[in-house]
Amino acid sequence: MLFERPLLFLHAFSGDEARQLLLQESDLAVVILDLAMERAGSRLDLVHFTRHTAGLRNSRIILLSGRQGQEPALDALIEHDISDCRTREELSRERLHVSVATAVRAYKQLCVSDTSRVGLERVLRSSASLLELKDHHEFASGVLTQLAALLKVEKVGVVCAQEAANPDGCYFVQAATGRFSELIGRSLERLPQTAELGLLRKAAESRSSVYGAKSGLALHIGHEDGQKFVAFIDVPRHHAVLHPPLLDVFCANLSTLLHDRGLLGRLNESAQHDPLVNLPNRAHFVGAVDECARQGLHDRILALIDIDDFSATNDLMGHLFGDRLLERVARCLEDALPGNVLLARLGADTFGVLGATGQVQPRRLLECVRGPLRIDGVPYKVSLTCGYVLLPQVFRTGADLVKDATIALRRAKRDRRGHELQYSDQMGAEARSRALLLSELRVAIENRELFLVYQPQLDLATRSVVGIEALLRWRTKDGRFVPPDQFIPVAEHSGLIVALGRWVLMAACATMRELMDAGDAPRRMAVNVSTVQLQDPGFLEIVCTALASNGLRGEHLELEITESVAALPTELLISALSALRAEGVSIAIDDFGTGYSSLSYLEQLPLDRIKIDRSFVCQLGEADGARIAEMVVQLGRKLGLGVLAEGIEDADVCRALLAMDCREGQGYHIARPMDKKVLLAWLRAHCRNPDAESRQPPALPSVHVSFDSRGGAVFGTEEPASPILPAASSSSRHAAPGRGRHTCA
């Protein structure tokens, strides 16, 4: 035994036998050659054979000579890597043992460094393979693949990249596998505080590789002044497939490749480039705007151009067609712009333009797609909308300026499709306050600050209650009321209205049930529904659930929609409304006359009632003021629809309406919106004495609302005193005529 391994002696008794043996064995530690075996004149033939023909580079060779002076010259010893040379007389038993032991030890070391060399080759090959990768994600996941292969472990790990062009920037997870896979996209600071992931933080801080005390290993890749990566890979404790110095070589090599061979540049380029339309992407664009702003270039315009109805085209014509359309539009814009104007693709169907004000004219730019585009031979008409901002004197970052242009674009999309709109500070202030309002609304919903109030609708001739309109209220914790005209458009714009509207329906139906149980229920409960809700494919089911879970029939519910439904595709609208009516639900058109939908359009819709807008009703007292109201009443009669006047504030108006044969109405003159308990009292009193005029009831508790985490509605407990809109401030708040619930975004 030598060094814990058995020692095996093989013997050859002639040069030829020796040659055969040398060819058969690949793991010979020591070759002891007796020079007497060699033919005269070619004493080192066997040595040469051992090294070159048998390829035994690491085997140690000990030469035995018959007498002093027979041993080869020193340079031959060196050339053939001969470890030792002895005469037979010299070689005692002990001496041979020492010589063999020394040779075996040397052989072992050589083999180890051989593994290192092979490892090194693998390391170099694997880092070179990473050169082919196209972007940060690919690179990061390539690092994991190569590390796992090098270390011969499973690919379980995390790779983070530092924000480009910021030596102190955050690291974000670019690739993660195995049990870490859900960490992708997170910043290093926000990763779970485990010992394993702690290694990543240590590697990032120390800018060197860190070995875990128990398991795991974190590497640092990248140069001091360039972008950096840190990689964690799960390796068992004392894992020794690859020597630690080789891992350092792997890291150093990758760092150099990243730096010298322009890999990082290419990775960055792809991080800055949109391959589909072959244009710079958002990151590049924002950077360029930033640069412009930093240089104080004010005669610059930043325009965002969006393809109208692109997602509908995509759905209808398929994504391939959508891609071609994007390419065509990109080329049209490119052709319409001078070469020194930057054109980029910022999002799905949004392009960004940055150039001198003299060179970019938004209106002209929109005309670059005036004729139909030919896509796959098919002529296709598109229209573009543009929002733009002129770079201001005061410094704003690139990201802020793009945000400003986005605000103008959104506004243009809503009010001026197919046209351009310039950003103004007022627009920005409004958008920001809407964003603020939205976040406050979310909190308000959590805090159960929203509730319903109810306003009776009367048959004006008999004064019997025919219906009740449910109206949403938001009372903040400090007692302030936020008017629905303000928060409902925000809820609509954000989509929150779908969940909120579902709760309104549920709560209104629950109240209807209570009124029925109390024996005071009118024929129907009217609920306001926004266009966004109608578009929701689940809307019919929501309505049916609200009815069924309160034991109501469709006839007990009326939905009030506005003329803005005209924005919906006619077929979709007609089928949605027809399905509701098939359930017995009636449909009223609210704020009638304030929108711009054509009568012929309204004629097609399955409707039951028209509500004359308050702005026309309040003019009834004035000379000529009755004209529009009268026309609406006649129109309703012609179309076979019921007519209800809203905003009746005094007895004269009520009489005027009756005179023109408007049968139904609601308004402060009859009753203000009330919360549920007050409503119950009002209904009871009204039944006893229908001719009594408006009383302002005392404040009472009301139903509150909150949402569960999935956006589903949760009914609130009855909370202490939540007064209904105070009379004094309410009339001024509601006096503004002509506002609809879809007028602001």
Choosing among Ca ion, ligand C2E, none, which partner's interface includes residue 679 (Cβ < 5 to 8 Å by kind)? none
Evaluate whether 715 touches 705 at the Cβ level (below 8 Å).
yes
Tell me if 533 contacts Ca ion by CB under 5 A. Answer: no
What are the contacts of 75-80 at 24+ separation with CB within 8 A? 76/44, 80/44, 80/47, 80/48, 80/51
**Angle between helices 319-336 and 310-317 in degrees, nearest 10:** 140
CA 44 to chain centre: 74
630 binds, among ligand C2E, Ca ion, none (CB under 5 to 8 A by kind): none
Q: Which does 471 bind (CB under 5 to 8 A by kind): ligand C2E, Ca ion, none?
A: ligand C2E
Cα–Cα distances (Å) from 241 to 156, 622, 639, 721, in that order, read 16, 95, 86, 73
Contact (CB, 8 A) for 669 and 654 = yes
Quote the CA–CA distance of 563 and 593 in Å, as a whole number: 8
Partner interacting with residue 484 (select from Ca ion, ligand C2E, none; CB below 5-8 Å by kind): ligand C2E
Measured from the CB of residue 639, what is the shortest distance to Ca ion in angstroms?
A: 19
Scan for tokens 């031959």, then name that residue.
76
SS (H, E, C) 49-90: HHHHHCCCCCCEEEEEECCCCCCCCHHHHHHCCEEEEEECCC
Stretch that binds Ca ion, among 125-133, 174-182, 286-294, 522-530 (CB under 5 A): 522-530
Task: Say whether residue 558 binds Ca ion (CB under 5 A).
Answer: no
**Binds 502: which of Ca ion, ligand C2E, none (CB < 5-8 Å by kind):** none
Closest approach, Cβ 744 to Ca ion, in A, equals 16
Between 43 and 434, CB nearer to ligand C2E: 434
- Report what 496 binds from ligand C2E, Ca ion, none; CB cut-off 5-8 Å by kind: none
Residue among 147 and 507 whose Cβ is closer to Ca ion: 507
Whole-number minimum distance, CB 430 to ligand C2E, in Å?
Answer: 18
CB 702 within 8 A of CB 675: yes
Measure Cα distances from 674 to 39, 165, 681 in Å: 122, 60, 10
Which residues share a beta bridge with 328? Answer: none
Taking the complex as a whole, the smallest distance from the CB of residue 741 to Ca ion amounts, in Å, to 8
How near is the Cβ of 667 to ligand C2E at its closest, in Å?
A: 3
Token pair belonging to 189: 């600071």
Q: Does 560 bind Ca ion (CB under 5 A)?
A: yes
What 3-state class would DSSP assign to 99?
helix
* Cβ at position 533, least distance to ligand C2E in Å: 7
Told to check if 590 binds Ca ion by CB under 5 A, we report yes
Task: Single out the residue of 420, 449, 558, 591 in contact with Ca ion (rule: CB under 5 A).
Answer: 591
> Which residues form the interface with ligand C2E (CB under 6 A)?
455, 471-472, 483-485, 488, 501, 504, 528-530, 560, 590-591, 614, 646-649, 666-668, 673, 731, 734-735, 741
**Would you say 593 or 667 has its CB closer to ligand C2E?**
667
- Identify which of 469, 470, 474 has the alpha carbon closest to the alpha carbon of residue 445: 474
Q: Return the number of the residue (504 or 515) whose C-beta is nearest ligand C2E.
A: 504
Closer by beta carbon to ligand C2E, 353 or else 577: 577
Question: Is 404 among the residues that bind Ca ion (CB under 5 A)?
Answer: no
Which of the choices ligand C2E, Ca ion, none does residue 504 contact, using the CB cut-off of 5 to 8 A by kind? ligand C2E
What distance in Å separates the CA atoms of residue 191 and residue 210, rounded to the nearest whole number? 18
Closest CB to Ca ion among 387 and 636? Answer: 636
Beta-ladder partners of 617 = none
CB of 297 to Ca ion, least distance (A): 50
Q: Closest separation between CB of residue 668 and ligand C2E, Å? A: 4
Q: State which residue, 62 or 497, has the beta carbon closest to ligand C2E.
A: 497
**Structure tokens, 475:** 């009372």
Complex with ligand C2E: residue 77 or 471, whichever CB lies closer: 471
609-612 and 642-645 beta bridge pairing: parallel
Least separation in angstroms between residue 612's CB and Ca ion is: 9
The phi, psi pair for 256, rounded to 5°, reads -70, -40
CB-wise, 231 or 441, nearer to ligand C2E? 441
Footprint (CB under 5 A) of Ca ion, residues 632-651: 646
Closest CA to 728 of 666, 668, 650: 668
Task: Tally the C-alpha atoms within 13 A of residue 324's C-alpha that lie toward its C-beta.
Answer: 13
Measured from the CB atom, is 528 or 722 closer to ligand C2E? 528
Query: 451-490: which residues touch Ca ion (CB under 5 A)?
Result: none
Q: CA angle, 722 as apex, 718 and 726 as ends, to 5°? A: 155
Shortest Å, Cβ 662 to Ca ion: 15
List C-alpha distances in Å: 341 to 197, 288, 361.
Answer: 45, 11, 12
Nearest distance from residue 726's CB to Ca ion, in Å? 21
Which tokens belong to 456? 């009776």
Query: How many angstroms separate the CA atoms of 367 and 175, rounded?
Result: 43
Residue 675 interacting with Ca ion (CB under 5 A): no
Neighbouring residues of 683: CB distance < 8 A, sequence distance ≥ 6: 456, 465, 515, 518, 520, 522
- In the bound state with Ca ion, the residue whose beta carbon lies nearer, of 130 and 588, is 588
- Give the sign of the dihedral formed by CA 494, CA 500, CA 502, CA 504: negative
530 binds, among Ca ion, ligand C2E, none (CB under 5 to 8 A by kind): ligand C2E
Q: Shortest gap between Cβ of 388 and ligand C2E (angstroms)?
A: 32
The reply to whether 528 sits near Ca ion by the rule CB under 5 A is yes
Contact range with Ca ion by CB under 5 A, out of 494-502, 591-599, 622-630, 695-703: 591-599
Cα–chain center distance at 742: 27
CB of 715 to ligand C2E, least distance (A): 16
Q: How far is the CB of 513 from ligand C2E (least distance, A)?
A: 18
**CB nearer Ca ion, residue 191 or residue 657:** 657
Question: Rounded to whole angstroms, how far apart are CA atoms 138 and 134?
Answer: 6
| CB of 498 closer than 8 Å to CB of 526 | no
Q: How far is the CB of 366 from ligand C2E (least distance, A)?
A: 33
Spatial contact of 674 and 641, defined as CB atoms under 8 Å apart: no
Q: 287 is in the binding site of which of ligand C2E, Ca ion, none (Cβ under 5 to 8 A by kind)?
A: none
Q: Which is nearer to Ca ion, 306 or 646 (CB)?
A: 646
Q: Based on CB atoms, which residue is closest to ligand C2E, 443 or 735? A: 735
226 or 737: whose CB is closer to Ca ion? 737
Residues that bind Ca ion (CB under 5 A): 528, 560, 590-591, 646
